Amino acid sequence: MGSGGEHVVAVGFPLSQQMSVTTGIVSSVRPGAITSDVRINHGNSGGPLLNLRGQVVGVNTFLETDEGTAGVSGAVTLVPLAAVLESARAATRSGSTAAKKLLPLLPSQAFPIAVLRQTADTATDGLYDEMASLDADNFTVSVSTPVSTLASITRVENALWGARTRRERQAPAINRDRLRQFAPYRDWTEYVGDETAPAVVIEIVPKVGRTTGTTISNILGAVAAGLTRTAYEPGTQHMEFKGDVEWVRFYRNGDPIAPVLGGRTPQRVLVSNAFVEMRDVAYRGIYVFRPEVFAPDSSGRPPSVIMVIGDLAHPTDQLDYELPPNVASRVWNDFLPYFRATGQGSLRSSDPTKRFASLQQTFCESRDCTGGDAIESGPASHVRIAGWATDGGGMLVSWVPRASPASRAGLRAGDLIVSIDGRSPQNVSDVVRSLEEASSIPRILYRRQDRLGWAAEGTDSVFTGLQLDAERRDGNGVKVASVAFGSRAAASGLRSGDCLVAVDGQAALTVEALEGLLQRNRSGHWRLGIQRGSSQLEVSF
């Protein structure tokens, strides 16, 4: 990089635009940094700064502006990156080259504004409300198309502008400019083109709920008020995000698919008053896809679109959420007017009554999780047991359906079943029979990597979320490796690092002894002896 005065070009993706190019002149070159008057828009950070010979000279980093001035932008020079780049080149020379694969792009032709407006004006399907608020455990999933977005805006604006329109009609006829209801939206779509892009946007937003402490306090307060026959007035409600998007993977009919654009963005809430207090930050996910992801098969059957969500708030779990078939069909059918107007794509409509194949037939088979036997009935139905894992000492669980009783009880694919209600299974058929005959998920002791844990329903569910150190066998008790946030065990006072040493006053210094004593007492009430440092405690369930 030369001295100041050289022309440079910054390339990036500001806001939700496909690309932005800005130019300027270098003000100064300092050790490790380049300052210039190039406007680095929001979203350009991390993009390249090039000279007029097409050489990358820096990485765009920041823009500082003052009112009335163009501002000063900064870029990191390539000098600090030299070692990293050389390491990457060496790794490329010595390793195998990745297969070439084209990245997905949105169609270049925009949704014609007249066609989009006409389609949105005739959209009366209440399904758009469902698409905007799909329930996915700790998250709300919304799916939007250009048609659904404009239809929503039209409905809201019509409601808001009704009074203004009536006043204009009743007022004397004078030479006035009537307010244009859709002018800002129309101008933006015509000249910027963002909202007319033929794209499907999926947004995954964490839900907000009361903290565990607030929930317990409300329950206890209500109970106390009921006993004293007084009115219960809850205090300040402490809220938190119930989910936190760590990563998301998408599948169409079981095959991985990549979004055109997308990623995570933080959402922050800071509220503190006499009624509600919430000070939390969590990530949500926003992902953009081509319409063809939702194309039906030759019979009009919609595809199975699944998102697997990694949740930082529940790091040992992952959520498998499948879009309802009526939503997948509605998304595709929204683009049929676009395909007719532009002459692109298929004109075959999607029929939601022709349901796609089940999640197990599509997603599970593509992920090699169909081995072994499926449980046909009972609360653990559709759970699959693959067989005995000699390296782990248990029966391998190869598949657990999303949001099923088994999943809610804490069982996960990849777990090794060590015992069921204190009894070690002998074979796959033994596990299948035991779970099919049970009226609720029995207490299952599983091995998950280097930890032991319980999955259960009913009274035994007090142990769900409690994981033990599977490797500790020194005869001084069973060490608690982790306690799930919000679990009944956590609410009862158990902590990570505690040692379980007794059940109902009887010593339990090994996992086997602990299981035996729990099985002996089937009342659903236990007294656990805890060793916490030098202190002896007792926790009652």
Tell me what the mean pLDDT of segment 343-361 comes to: 69
Q: Determine the Cα–Cα distance for residues 265 and 287; give it in Å rounded to an integer.
A: 11
Report the alpha-carbon distance of residue 381 to residue 406 in Å, rounded. Answer: 8
Tell whether the model's pLDDT for residue 140 goes beyond 90: yes
For 42-81, how does the pLDDT look when each residue is reduced to its tens digit (9 = 90+)? Answer: 767 788 888 888 888 888 888 776 666 667 888 888 877 7
Q: pLDDT digit string (tens) for 283-296? A: 999 999 999 999 98
Q: What are the pLDDT digits (tens) for 256-290?
A: 888 988 888 898 888 888 788 888 999 999 999 99
User: Under a CB-based contact definition with an 8 Å cutoff, are residues 530 and 477 in contact?
Assistant: no
Give the per-residue pLDDT at 98. Answer: 61
| Cα separation, 418 vs 176, whole angstroms | 80
- Its pTM stands at 0.54
Cβ atoms of residues 139 and 205 within 8 Å: yes
Question: Which two three-digit tokens encode residue 265?
Answer: 């963005």
Mean pLDDT value across residues 316-343 = 87
Whether the per-residue pLDDT at 431 is higher than 80: the answer is yes
42 CB-side CA count, 13 A: 3
Share of the chain above pLDDT 70, in %: 78
Q: Residue 192: what pLDDT?
A: 39
What share of the chain has pLDDT > 90, as a percent?
9
**Domains of the chain, start order:** 7-94 (2.40.10.10), 113-207+242-360 (no CATH), 368-540 (2.30.42.10)
As a whole number of angstroms, the distance between CA 205 and CA 328 comes to 19
> Highest mean pLDDT: which of 184-188, 197-201, 481-485?
197-201
Give per-residue pLDDT as tens, 457-515: 887 787 888 888 876 555 678 888 888 876 778 877 888 888 888 888 888 788 888 88
